[in-house]
Amino acid sequence: MMKFKHFAGIGATTLLTMGLAVPAVAQSPNAALKGANGQDVGTVSMSQTQAGVLLKVSLKGLPLGEHAFHVHTVGKCDPPSFESAGGHFNPTNAHHGMLSGPGHAGDMPNLHIPPTGTLELEVLNATITLDEGKPNSVFHQGGASAVIHAGKDDYMSDPAGNSGNRIACGVISESPATVGRSPAR
């Protein structure tokens, strides 16, 4: 009986050591959202699924109310206006708004920020992909960004749904998520 306990301890120690010695690297596209004054207001993490891209959104410090949420066509977020992010991601040149047809690939449902200013949610966007080289990929030349607007999207008006100024922006990038130690660069 004592021999088995000894081997079990060695096995667990070996597995633990192996797990710490070899970093696990996975691509986890994300966007770190900043407000107009440079303050951190949240993150958007993305995962490719068979149904589209799952966006996990975690927000803090945003004003109460309904706010438009879009993927924009340029991977640039110069404060305070974030106009550098370009228009909505629209590789098919569709009319804006999910109530007026298929809408832009970057169109997503409005966010409803509670009085606390914090919100955690998941959104599935079936019209974009993380697969490079495809016309609807957010990793096209020039990149893409996640943008939150001051007002709500009316889901019809072209080109941006009368959603108002841009109040938060984050460049969508592929960042390695590591376990253990940082990978060598």
> What is the four-CA torsion angle of 57, 58, 63, 64, rounded to 10 degrees?
80
* pLDDT beyond 50 at 103: yes
Which helix (H) or strand (E) covers residue 121, if one does?
Answer: strand 119-125
* Residue 95 main-chain phi, psi, to 5 deg: -70, 145
Rounded average pLDDT over 10-39? 62
Average pLDDT of every residue of the chain: 80
Cα 134 to Cα 35, 52, 95, 127, 182, distances in angstroms: 30, 13, 21, 11, 30
CA angle 177, 181, 184 (to 5 degrees): 85
Rounded average pLDDT over 99-109? 83
* pLDDT beyond 70 at 145: yes
Q: How confident is the model at residue 184 (pLDDT cuts 50, 70, 90)?
A: very low
* pLDDT beyond 50 at 56: yes
Q: Which of 122, 109, 110, 114 is nearest to 65 (CA)?
A: 114
pLDDT at res. 157: 72
pTM: 0.79
pLDDT at res. 65: 95
pLDDT at res. 12: 42
pLDDT at res. 28: 77
Domains of the chain plus CATH, in order, are 26-176 (2.60.40.200)
Which residues sit opposite 25 in a β-bridge?
178
For the chain, percent of residues with pLDDT exceeding 90:
55
DSSP state of 95: P
